[in-house]
């Protein structure tokens, strides 16, 4: 089994959206400068000996800043990438075409994780049921895309061979060596991925359940953007228990300072 980490460009966003209360005014200093973070985006391609090619998250749509995203998202989460960092080009670096991917796992339905779903109408798609239902509800509530939070209607409603809705309490082995774990909090449901490799040990990809090392701690910090803060904290601690159990390598979702410790495609873990 080969596990490729795909680099998909980065977002620029206020740190308060990542770490709750990152910059707070006080009585003596009521006006404080905010901090804008560079937030790298990753997806994961697995070349599995029996299941074929599996994609965990589909990254951001390269048309995001050109009208695919509404103005509110462009202002709050500006998206930048080099031509070779689009999902299609990253897959090409791994000798893979979108049509060769049989299985897609979406951590959740936000625009930086489900952004290229249009490429996979032929695939089985695993999604967290609670977040899928919320996303569908939000994008059909009205026609004002600026009120749809991080969800893009065309991505949420993209066709697939079959959607498989994963219940919040359902952790399981999807294929030999590949586990799906539930990590709700950031969104109503969120799927993490565990890959057990022969040579590089266990790899854990929690995506937005653990944005950065600062969030992870210990002690864990609250994120700035979340659906359920108690569930978020519980999910961070669940990741910690699993990382300790397996002596695993942890891949933070949006931590620019961790990039040097990642092995990016076309290199791989095996």
Q: Where is 236: in which H helix or E strand?
A: helix 229-246
- What is the model's pLDDT at position 24? 83
In a domain, 239, yes or no: yes
- Tokens encoding 113: 């994780």
In a domain, 267, yes or no: no
CB atoms within 10 A of CB 227: 18
- What is the model's pLDDT at position 93? 98
In a domain, 105, yes or no: yes
What is the percent of the chain where pLDDT is above 90? 89
Integer Cα distance of 43 and 5 in angstroms: 6
In a domain, 270, yes or no: no
- What is the model's pLDDT at position 232? 96
Residue 132: pLDDT band (50, 70, 90) is very high
In a domain, 138, yes or no: yes
Q: For the segment 65-122, what is each residue's pLDDT rounded down to a tens digit?
A: 999 999 999 999 999 999 999 999 999 999 999 999 999 999 999 999 999 999 999 9
In a domain, 30, yes or no: yes
Integer Cα distance of 205 and 57 in angstroms: 11
In a domain, 96, yes or no: yes
Helices of type H across 39-141:
71-76, 87-93, 129-139
Range of the domain at 50: 2-261
Residues 262 and 256: beta-carbon distance below 8 Å:
no
57-79 residues labelled b (16+ CB within 10 A) or e (exposed): bbbbbbebbeebbeeebeeebeb
In a domain, 266, yes or no: no
Would you say residue 22 has pLDDT above 90?
no
CATH number of the domain residue 84 falls in: 3.60.15.10
Residue 42: pLDDT band (50, 70, 90) is very high
How many domains is the chain partitioned into structurally? 1
**DSSP code of 128?**
E
Q: For the segment 135-170, what is each residue's pLDDT rounded down to a tens digit?
A: 999 999 999 999 999 999 999 999 999 999 999 889
Residues 193 and 178: beta-carbon distance below 8 Å:
yes
Calculate mean pLDDT across residues 196-202.
98
Residue that wins the pLDDT comparison between 147 and 26: 147
Q: Whole-number mean pLDDT of the chain?
A: 96
pTM of the prediction? Answer: 0.96
């Amino acid at each position: 089994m080969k596990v490729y980490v795909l680099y998909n460009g980065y977002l620029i966003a206020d740190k308060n959206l990542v770490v709750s209360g990152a910059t707070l005014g006080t009585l003596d200093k009521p006006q404080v400068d905010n901090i804008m973070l560079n937030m790298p985006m990753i997806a994961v391609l697995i070349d599995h000996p029996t299941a074929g090619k599996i994609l965990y998250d589909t990254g951001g749509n390269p048309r995001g800043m050109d009208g695919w995203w509404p103005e509110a998202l462009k202002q709050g989460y500006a998206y930048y990438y080099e031509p070779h960092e689009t999902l299609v080009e990253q897959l090409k670096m791994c000798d893979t075409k979108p049509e060769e991917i049989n299985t897609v796992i979406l951590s959740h339905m936000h625009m930086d994780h489900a952004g290229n779903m249009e490429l996979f109408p032929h695939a089985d798609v695993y999604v967290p049921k609670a977040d899928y239902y919320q996303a569908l509800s939000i994008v059909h509530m009205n026609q004002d895309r600026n009120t749809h939070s991080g969800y893009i209607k065309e991505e949420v409603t993209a066709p697939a061979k079959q959607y498989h809705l994963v219940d919040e309490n359902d952790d399981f082995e999807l294929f030999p060596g590949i586990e799906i774990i539930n990590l709700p909090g950031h969104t109503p449901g969120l799927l993490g991925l565990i890959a057990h490799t022969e040579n590089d040990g266990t790899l854990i990809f929690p995506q937005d359940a653990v944005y950065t090392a600062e969030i992870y701690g210990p002690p864990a910090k609250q994120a700035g953007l979340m659906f359920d803060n108690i569930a978020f904290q519980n999910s961070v601690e669940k990741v910690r228990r699993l990382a300790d159990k397996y002596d695993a390598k942890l891949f933070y979702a949006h931590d620019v300072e961790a990039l040097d410790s990642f092995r990016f495609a076309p290199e791989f873990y095996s």
